[in-house]
Chain A
Amino acid sequence: MMKKVFERVYLALLLIFMYAPIVTLIVLSFNSSKSRAKWGGFTLNWYVNLMSDEAVASALVNTLTIAVLATVFSTIIGTFTCIAMIGISKKMRSVIMGITNIPMINADIVTGISLMLLFRFLHLSSGFSTILLAHITFNIPFVMLSVMPRIKNMNFYVYEAALDLGASPAYAFSKTVLPDLVPGIVSGALMAFTMSLDDFIITYFTKGSGFETLSTLIYSEVKKGIKPEIYALSAIIFVVVLVLLFIVNRAPASKTNKK
């Protein structure tokens, strides 16, 4: 019994540690006093200001555009490569996987710097395209690591059977192999998307003039002094994430129940 109580308390304490700061931010985002120490009454001003803030809006658009594009490209490249790996010698495969692992294991700061050096060397003017290339690069490994296990465990007898029964390779592939890969591809894509959204360090080193993502914008804003608008922004992001999480968690649960 004691043990149960202790466990509950421990869980509660850790949850407080994780969430108390976020709750505080949300509370502060409604504080009409600019000072963090005083409660000046309830206000929605910071939210209103945020909506009309062009810098934040364009940083948000940039962040999302890059994340979506990087996810699409990295998912396509990653998936095709994983499929191709089936027909490649074991040795070559492990070499490729070894290289693929580098961006995951390497420190972000080194990855960021190395890409910056490359882009300077190639005289690519930094900005949207360089960030996109960098994001695709660090996203591909997440896609591959999520698709590869499915490929390894797959059996191709069904595919061969389909061919024997006269299906064209493309048709057979899309009907037998692809469906098995979809969960892996989806997870990989989602992972890539998240990584892209959250990245700061690599973006920081590869971004160019006049181009900000949310992360780099927040970093430079913080250096100027924290504005309450940023609290409002974090509150919005957090609530959106929370709501969506509950929706997503509910959806698969109801499906499995029906089964």
Chain B
Amino acid sequence: MKKRIISMILSVAMTVSVFALSGCGSDSASGENGKLYVYNWGEYIDEEVIDEFEEETGIKVIYDTFESNEIMYAKLAQDSSAYDVVCPSDYMVQKLIQNDLIQELDFGSIPNSANIGAQYYESASDFDPGNKYAVPYCWGTVGILYNKTMVDDVVDSWDILWDEKYSGQILMQDSVRDAFMVSLLRNGYSMNTKNEDELRVATDDLIAQKPLVQAYVIDQVRDKMIGEEAALGVIYSGEAIYTARENPDLVYVVPKEGTNVWIDSWVITKGSKNVENAQKWIDFMCRGDIALRNFEYITYSTPNTVAQENIEDEDIKNSKVAFPDLSTFPTESYQYLGEDGDKLYNDSWMEVKSAD
């Protein structure tokens, strides 16, 4: 039977073959100074900066993006030589260190790392004791982005994401830790709890919320909120400036129950074949002017003091969204919970995602 289908399809298949003539050649050539495999979050850099790095150093950058820490981890665990330099979040740095997937940095070869504010290194020492492995790149909070023309209530609590009034108008994060952070905090628990009863409550809460949720997304929150597809969305603080610029009705708040303060940092993989180039990359990213350009493009808060000082727009320089006063709400950071903890969270998340 399939044979006949094949022959039917053939006449059309013919047409596509001409495609072949339209493009040839290969672009896998490496730069004069070798290659560098970079693995970063999606939409997390000014792409022109990459070109500039290539020009300045003669290193060919192979740039890839991931959607969540978990996806990144699975890739590295499979083959830590697949990338040279990666940009995971705090708890994931901890997990990578514990599983021996990243290497200690030679800070002497990364002089610009001194541009990063001391307080950020101090926060980073929570997940990277002694600051041996990671150089902070961006930091921020997680909060609710809402459209003030679509939401009448005061948005100051995670509870609003459970309000039936907004059924089908809510966007949740499609990543296990962020989703559970919301429901754990709402119930007054720690976002790093390993208590099964507490997690049970949080899981049931997320399942109860599911019918109200329009979609579980990550990077799409931004576009969907700008396009007014939804009224409320859980989002990283760094997107707030950008979204407000694109759609002035969008407002970012950190709920009173608190939030996760996160730091994404550059690390070099254990299996890296281009360690020197990776150091150059991190050093480049830490340069004041480059950090500033990245900040202006992606609008995620930079820990780079040189860049912070040189922000021209006073509104942004003093923005409470970009550079919040962390004493005004309770904060906590994700920690790596160990293999058992991961399993507990993953199983619970599976339960939420497969619920009707």
Contact = CB atoms under 8 A, between A and B. Distances in A.
Interface string B1-37: 0110011011111111111101111111000000001
Contacts of A188: 6
B64 A209 contact: yes
Most B CB contacts (10 A, CB to CB) among A128, A210, A223 go to A210
Contacts of A194: 9, 12-13, 16
Given A224-B220, A225-B223, A241-B15, A190 B67 contact: no
Contact of A35 (B25, B26, B42, B227): B227
Given A225-B219, A247-B15, A61 B26 contact: yes
Contacts of B20: 64, 67-68, 193
Contact of B23 (A60, A120, A226, A248): A60
B210 interface: no
Contacts of B204: none
B15 A248 contact: yes
A95 interface: no
Contacts of A223: 42, 67, 217-220
Given A58-B27, A210-B37, A190 B219 contact: no
B22 A146 contact: no
A230 interface: no
A234 interface: no
Interface residues of A, number: 44
B62 A209 contact: yes
A248 B14 contact: yes
B9 A191 contact: yes
A1 interface: no
A52 interface: no
B222 A225 contact: yes
Contacts of A35: 227
Contacts of A226: 223
B280 interface: no
B319 interface: no
B196 interface: no
Contact of B81 (A104, A125, A186, A245): A125
B218 A142 contact: no
A240 interface: yes
Contacts of A67: 19-20
B100 interface: no
A161 to B, nearest CB: 29
Contacts of A179: none
A55 to B, nearest CB: 9
A244 to B, nearest CB: 3
Nearest to B246: A34
Most B CB contacts (10 A, CB to CB) among A36, A104, A220 go to A220
Given A149-B3, A209-B62, A225-B224, A120 B78 contact: yes
Given A60-B23, A64-B19, A125-B82, 14 more contacts: A186-B10, A187-B6, A190-B17, A191-B6, A191-B10, A193-B17, A193-B20, A194-B9, A197-B19, A209-B62, A209-B82, A224-B43, A224-B219, A244-B16
11 contacts: A61-B24, A65-B23, A194-B13, A210-B37, A210-B63, A220-B42, A226-B223, A241-B15, A243-B15, A244-B14, A247-B15
Interface of A: 35-37, 57-58, 60-61, 64-65, 67-68, 104, 120, 125-126, 128, 142, 145-146, 149, 186-188, 190-191, 193-194, 197, 208-210, 220, 223-226, 240-241, 243-245, 247-249
Question: When A and B form their complex, which 9 residue pairs have the shortest distance between CB atoms, in order from nearest?
Answer: A244-B15, A225-B223, A210-B62, A190-B13, A194-B13, A224-B219, A187-B10, A209-B82, A248-B14
